[in-house]
C-alpha cells in the first residue's frame, strides 16, 4: 500500500520538490521557516497521514550559531513529531544526514549501527533530533541518513564547485583518490517514500547512497566534460591542498574535497529492496543542464 495522504515539511526545497512530485496522494505542506510555524504544525491534519520531515537549518544559513541550529533542527522537529503522534499519523519519516556518523571514513564505509560522532552544529543537532524522535510515544518513525545529494537544481557546495569548474582556469584536483558517496535527489525521494510505507522501515535508521563512490577528481572531470570545458586538472598532492586551506582558514571545506566519506547502503537494499539507480554522470548532467538554464 502506498502513501494515502502526506504532510510534508520542506516540500518546496531541493529534496522536497522531488518527493512531492513522486507522492501520488494529497499533500499538506507545513512551512517551518515561517514565523507562524507552530500554528501551522498545530493546524495540520495528521489523521492517517505519512509525515515527511525534510526542513532543516543547513550550512551557510544565518545566523550560523549552535542555538539557531538547535532551534530549527531539534525544537521544531520535536514539536512536529509530537503533533503528528497526537494527531494520529501513520508514520514519521525524518531526513537526517550522514554527518551524524562523522565527517570522514578511512577503513570502511559508515553503517547504521556505527557509533555517532558528529563534528559540527548541523551534525550534532541532527543527531539530537534523531534521539528526540525515538522518544516520541505513539508514532512509528523511520530515519534516513543521506550523503551529499545531487541532481537538477542542486544548491550549496556542489553548486559552488560547479561554478568553479565552469571556468578555463586549471584546478588542483587532478590527483585526489578519495571515495565519496552520493545520491541523486530522485533516488532519495524514492527511498523516503519506501520508508513511509515499508513495514520493515519502522523504527529503523536507513542509510542512503548509490553503490558507486566517486573521487573529487572524477567528479570535477565529469562536471567539466558536461560543461564542455577543458579538463585542466593539475595533480597537486593532498597535503599541499590541505595545508594551504588551513592557512586560509578553509580547512573543513578543503577536507570535504580531499577526504573520503563512504556510506554502506547494503542493509537498505537487503531489508527494503531499494537500490539507487541514477549514476553520478547522469546526476552531474542534470546539474549542468539546470545550471546552464539558470545563467542563460
How confident is the model over 201-228, as pLDDT tens digits?
A: 999 999 999 999 999 999 999 999 999 9
Reported as a pLDDT band with limits 50, 70 and 90, residue 3 is confident
The sheet with strand 140-146 has its strands ordered as 27-30, 6-9, 50-53, 91-97, 140-146, 204-207
In three-state secondary structure terms, 195 is helix
Length of the chain: 296
Residue 129 lies in a domain: yes
Q: Work out the average pLDDT over 103-107.
A: 93
Residue 247 lies in a domain: no
Percent of the chain clearing pLDDT 90 (strictly above): 88
Look at residue 213 in the predicted model and tell me its pLDDT.
Answer: 94
**CATH number, domain at 138?**
3.40.50.720
* Contact (Cβ atoms closer than 8 angstroms) between residue 96 and residue 146: yes
Look at residue 59 in the predicted model and tell me its pLDDT.
Answer: 76
Q: Which domain holds residue 20?
A: 6-154+180-211+261-277
Residue of 74, 80, 72, 16 lying closest to 51 (CA atoms)? 80
Distance CA 139, CA 20 (A): 22
Q: Work out the average pLDDT over 163-191.
A: 95
- Write out the H or E segment, with its range, that includes residue 238: helix 238-247
Give the chain's domain count. Answer: 1
More confident residue, 61 or 145: 145
Q: Work out the average pLDDT over 88-97.
A: 96
Residue 99 lies in a domain: yes
Percent composition of the chain: helix, strand, coil (DSSP 3-state, to 5): 45, 15, 40
Look at residue 79 in the predicted model and tell me its pLDDT.
Answer: 96
Residue 248 lies in a domain: no
Look at residue 1 in the predicted model and tell me its pLDDT.
Answer: 62
Residue 293 lies in a domain: no
- Write out the H or E segment, with its range, that includes residue 6: strand 6-9
Q: Work out the average pLDDT over 110-137.
A: 94
pLDDT at 2 over 90: no
Look at residue 62 in the predicted model and tell me its pLDDT.
Answer: 73
pLDDT at 262 over 80: yes
In three-state secondary structure terms, 142 is strand
Residue 236 lies in a domain: no
* Contact (Cβ atoms closer than 8 angstroms) between residue 52 and residue 7: yes
Look at residue 58 in the predicted model and tell me its pLDDT.
Answer: 86
Q: Work out the average pLDDT over 181-186.
A: 96
Which conformational region is residue 203 in: left (phi greater than 0), alpha (psi within -120 to 50 degrees), or beta? left
Reported as a pLDDT band with limits 50, 70 and 90, residue 230 is very high
Look at residue 61 in the predicted model and tell me its pLDDT.
Answer: 73
Residue 91 lies in a domain: yes
Which residue matches cell numbers 513511509?
A: 196
In three-state secondary structure terms, 112 is coil
How confident is the model over 32-55, as pLDDT tens digits?
A: 999 999 999 999 999 999 999 999
Residue 121 lies in a domain: yes
Amino acid at each position: 500500500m502506498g502513501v494515502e495522504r502526506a504532510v510534508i515539511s520542506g516540500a518546496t526545497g531541493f529534496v522536497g520538490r522531488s518527493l512531492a512530485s513522486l507522492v501520488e496522494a494529497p499533500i499538506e505542506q507545513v512551512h517551518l521557516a515561517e514565523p507562524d510555524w507552530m500554528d501551522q504544525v498545530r493546524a495540520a491534519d495528521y489523521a492517517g497521514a505519512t509525515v515527511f520531515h525534510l526542513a532543516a537549518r543547513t550550512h551557510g544559513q544565518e545566523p550560523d550559531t549552535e542555538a539557531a541550529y538547535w532551534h530549527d533542527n531539534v525544537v521544531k522537529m520535536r514539536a512536529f513529531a509530537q503533533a503528528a503522534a497526537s494527531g494520529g499519523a501513520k508514520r514519521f519519516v525524518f531526513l537526517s544526514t550522514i554527518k551524524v556518523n562523522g565527517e570522514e571514513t578511512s577503513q570502511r564505509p559508515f553503517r547504521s549501527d556505527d557509533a555517532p560522532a558528529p563534528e559540527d552544529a548541523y551534525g550534532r543537532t541532527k543527531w539530537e533530533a534523531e534521539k528526540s524522535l525515538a522518544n516520541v510515544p505513539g508514532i512509528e518513525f523511520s530515519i534516513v541518513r543521506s550523503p551529499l545529494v545531487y541532481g537538477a537544481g542542486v544548491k550549496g557546495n556542489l553548486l559552488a564547485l560547479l561554478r568553479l569548474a565552469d571556468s578555463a582556469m586549471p584546478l588542483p584536483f587532478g590527483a585526489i583518490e578519495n571515495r565519496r558517496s552520493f545520491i541523486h535527489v530522485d533516488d532519495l525521494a524514492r527511498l523516503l517514500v519506501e520508508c513511509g510505507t515499508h513495514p520493515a522501515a519502522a523504527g529503523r535508521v536507513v542509510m542512503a547512497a548509490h553503490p558507486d563512490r566517486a573521487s573529487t577528481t572524477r567528479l570535477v572531470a565529469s562536471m567539466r566534460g558536461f560543461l564542455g570545458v577543458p579538463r585542466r586538472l593539475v595533480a597537486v598532492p593532498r597535503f599541499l591542498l590541505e595545508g594551504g586551506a588551513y592557512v586560509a582558514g578553509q580547512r573543513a571545506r578543503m577536507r570535504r574535497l580531499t577526504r573520503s566519506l563512504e556510506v554502506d547502503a547494503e542493509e537498505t537494499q537487503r531489508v527494503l529492496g531499494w537500490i539507487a539507480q541514477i549514476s553520478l554522470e547522469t546526476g552531474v548532467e542534470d546539474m549542468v543542464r539546470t545550471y546552464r538554464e539558470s545563467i542563460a
